[in-house]
Amino acid sequence: LISNIENLNLPEGLESSMVSKLDNAIEAFEKDNDNAAINKLNAFINEVKAQRGTKITVEDEDDLIATAEWIIDSN
């Protein structure tokens, strides 16, 4: 998911914010804190939705959200 974000060529601040949320989710999963990780992934989803049709295409948004939701559902 992080590499997908990096491949979108987003403005640096937006990319950094999204990657940070994903990094924090990974750290929470590694510490067996699934609730915190899921909260971070939901924050990521909300940030992606906020950029719909502006900084992120609708197609890319759908892919990013589907992947994040798959991760949530897998835990």
Structure-model confidence comparison of residues 7 and 75, the more confident one = 7
pLDDT of residue 61: 94
Tell me the pLDDT tens digit for each residue of 4-58.
999 999 999 999 999 999 999 999 999 999 999 999 999 999 999 999 889 999 9
Whether pLDDT at 65 is above 90:
yes
CA distances from 24 to 40, 58, 65 (A): 7, 25, 17
To the question of pTM greater than 0.85 for the whole model, the response is: yes
CA angle 48-45-23, nearest 5°? 100
Tell me the pLDDT tens digit for each residue of 42-54.
999 999 999 988 9
